[in-house]
């Protein structure tokens, strides 16, 4: 019953977003406001949608809804990352356009080429760092609750990261094979919809994070089984 209520609540929030974007009057107001206040818009979009992605990922991982400690702080973290993404989108698209006009990249004038190059450049440079920012932000919030006023050491947080999964799954697989194609599509959209589309994609990120955690658990179990056999 609890899981069913959680499913309904999550679905209703998503439905509200869809209605805001499909009803012409609310869509126009929302787009106009975010155009005037791009950073606030980026903050709100990611604070809500990316947090929804995290909650859905936890639902997939644990087969039940679980509200993590510091949910508000985690939403604020996503909001700040959303502000960064709002700026980064402009930097990479404008930078690629300038490079094409200077002959440093081919197919000048091609919208598709510009979208692909911007997505590729972003996801091999900023993309991996975004995973780092989010991971260490989450770890810092976790540490604040676990240590309760004790000193939080960077080394302790670094040691908690599964770097093999981070590099092999998050960077080499998701950044290159998933985010480059998807962000190419995002960059083909009108400018006012790009950050919003990326925020919706953050729901997919929540699912991918859940899958990566499942992979970590699977790897640990396999290692434990191997050690048991060796003994």
Q: Give residue 58's pLDDT.
A: 86
Q: Give residue 64's pLDDT.
A: 86
Residue numbers in the chain where pLDDT is lower than 50: none
Mean pLDDT of the chain: 90
* CA–CA distance, 10 with 16 (Å, rounded to integer): 10
Residues contacting 205, CB < 8 A, separation 6+:
50, 53
Q: Give residue 169's pLDDT.
A: 85
| Contact (CB, 8 A) for 183 and 122 | yes
Q: Give residue 165's pLDDT.
A: 85
Q: Roughly what angle, to the nearest 10 degrees, separates helices 24-36 and 2-22?
A: 80
Q: pTM for this structure?
A: 0.89
């Amino acid at each position: 019953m609890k899981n069913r209520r959680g499913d309904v609540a999550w679905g209703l929030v998503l439905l509200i977003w869809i209605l805001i974007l499909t009803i012409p009057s609310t869509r126009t107001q929302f787009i106009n406001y975010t155009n005037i206040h791009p950073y606030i818009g980026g903050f709100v979009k990611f604070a809500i949608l990316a947090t929804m992605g995290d909650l859905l990922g936890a639902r997939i991982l644990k087969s039940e809804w679980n509200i993590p400690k510091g949910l508000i702080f985690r939403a604020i973290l996503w909001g700040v990352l959303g502000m960064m993404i709002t700026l980064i989108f402009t930097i990479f698209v404008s930078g690629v356009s300038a490079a094409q006009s200077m002959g440093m990249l081919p197919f000048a004038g091609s919208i598709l080429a510009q979208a692909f190059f911007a997505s590729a450049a972003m996801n091999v440079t900023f993309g991996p760092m975004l995973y780092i920012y989010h991971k260490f932000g989450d770890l810092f919030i976790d540490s604040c609750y676990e240590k309760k006023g004790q000193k939080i050491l960077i080394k302790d947080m670094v040691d908690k990261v599964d770097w093999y999964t981070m590099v092999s799954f998050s960077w080499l697989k998701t950044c290159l094979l998933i985010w480059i194609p998807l962000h190419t599509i995002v960059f083909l959209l009108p400018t006012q919809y790009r950050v919003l589309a990326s925020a919706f994609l953050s729901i997919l990120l929540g699912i991918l994070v859940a899958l990566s955690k499942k992979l970590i658990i699977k790897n640990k179990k396999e290692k434990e089984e191997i050690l048991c056999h060796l003994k």
